[in-house]
Amino acid sequence: MAKVTFNEDICKGCGLCVDACPKHILMLDKNKINRKGHNPAVMTDQSKCIGCAFCATMCPDCVITVEK
Amino acid sequence: MAIVFQKPASLTDKELHYCPGCPHGIIHRLVAQAIDALGIEGKTIGVAPVGCAVMAYDYFTCDMVEAAHGRAPAVATGLKRSLPENVIFTYQGDGDLASIGMAETVHAATRNENITIIFVNNAIYGMTGGQMAPTSLPGQITQTSPYGRDLKTQGYPIRVCELLSALDAPYYIERVAVNNVKNVNQAKKAIEKAFRNQIEGKGFSLIEVVSACPTNWGMTPQKALQWVDERMIPYYPLGVYKDRSKEDAKEAN
């Protein structure tokens, strides 16, 4: 069981984490706008996360912390 | 639960000013991870360039010096010679290192100056708004080459790793990319090795990181990384271009 947390305030919504996720459980939340004015990345199904940290590896802004 | 991945301690909490999806953020993090891994945060001095990374001094917790455009290798030379116990790195873009700073780069390399250079190649001048750089690809459309780079009038792109590896002196030269997870992990290893070379007193290490500029290329971040794979890497092949540790090993035998 892995846990992924997003520092949503500094996410720029580039979506590189979404593409990197091998389980396809990340998306940009179109219903939310953070204080920078972007749609932040969110995880849709935490239970499917394998904690590979691919998302965090590709994130340019160190938004993501991964625990396993 | 143990932390698998978190922001490295050598990066400050300041938010990066880079555009969404700009790989500068990834490369900053790789440098900070190398500094953390080697435990040299207290004695590292970085030299910031002119270009998009001009404000890199705000992002690293180590001491930083801002160099005039292209002169980072010269400033790093001075720092290293006056403070030989410290670890000195420069962080430069292609407009900085391969254009106005080419002389400083080549001469620092041929003196085998004991410094580490992180060279970010995104084939365009980012900060000034997308003009053609010495590394822009043949036919690449930029603000100053709206019909594509014309090789007859504007010349061929400069391959910095190949150029410097023709010199006898430089110790370690490698080209990496940050367009996917595998390449980012390889880049992490290369950057750490470049710092380790300096700590061991080996000499000049330059890591060229093939990067992207989604904003000035006029692409989404995803498309830009795909373009790196399809266009940049074929022209700028990845790999180790010079590694004198093999010569060292031969001499030892």
Report residue B207 as tokens.
């890591």
pLDDT category, B27, cuts 50, 70, 90?
very high
Residue B253 pLDDT greater than 80, yes or no: no
CB contact under 8 A, A3 and B1: yes
Which of B111, B118, B42, B104 lies closest to B73, judged by CA? B104
Tell me, what CATH number does B181's domain have?
Answer: 3.40.50.970
Please give the backbone phi and psi of residue B161, each rounded to the nearest 5 degrees, phi first.
Answer: -60, -45
Number of domains in chain A: 1
What is the pLDDT, as a whole number, of residue B187? 98
> What count of Cα atoms within 13 Å lies in the side-chain half-sphere of residue B186?
17
Residue B58 domain-assigned (yes or no) = yes
Q: What is the mean pLDDT of chain B?
A: 96
What is the pLDDT, as a whole number, of residue B123? 96
Tell me, what CATH number does A39's domain have?
Answer: 3.30.70.20
Residue B252 pLDDT greater than 80, yes or no: no
Radius of gyration of chain B (CA): 17
Residue B182 domain-assigned (yes or no) = yes
Query: What digits encode the pLDDT tens for the residues B126-161?
Result: 999 999 999 999 999 999 999 999 999 999 999 999
Contact B145, B216 (CB under 8 A): no
B1 to chain A, closest Cα gap in Å: 5
B238 to chain A, closest Cα gap in Å: 19
Residue B115 domain-assigned (yes or no) = yes
* Complex confidence, ipTM: 0.96
pLDDT < 70 regions, chain A: none
Phi-psi region of A32 (alpha: psi -120 to 50; beta: other; left: phi over 0): beta
What is the pLDDT, as a whole number, of residue B127? 94
Residue B2 domain-assigned (yes or no) = no
How many Å apart are CA B74 and CA B81, to the nearest integer? 11
Question: 10 Å Cβ neighbour count for B207?
Answer: 27
User: Which amino acid is present at B32?
Assistant: A
Residue B177 domain-assigned (yes or no) = yes
Domain that holds residue B70: 24-252
Residue B51 domain-assigned (yes or no) = yes
Q: What is the mean pLDDT of residues B37-53?
A: 96
Query: What digits encode the pLDDT tens for the residues B145-204?
Result: 999 999 999 999 999 999 999 999 999 999 999 999 999 999 999 999 999 999 999 999
What is the pLDDT, as a whole number, of residue B251? 80
What is the pLDDT, as a whole number, of residue B33? 97
Residue B197 domain-assigned (yes or no) = yes
**CA distance to B97, B179, B183, B208, per residue, from B233 (Å):** 19, 10, 11, 12
Say if strands A41-43 and A26-28 run parallel, antiparallel, or are unpaired.
antiparallel
Domain that holds residue A27: 3-67
Contacts with B, A 33-62, CB within 8 Å? 36, 38, 51, 53-54, 56-62
* Model pTM above 0.90: yes
Residue B14 domain-assigned (yes or no) = no
Report residue B19 as tokens.
């555009």
Which of B165, B140, B160 lies closest to B96, judged by CA? B160
What are the chain A neighbours of B3 within 8 Å (beta carbons)?
Answer: 65-67
- CB contact B153 to A (< 8 Å): no
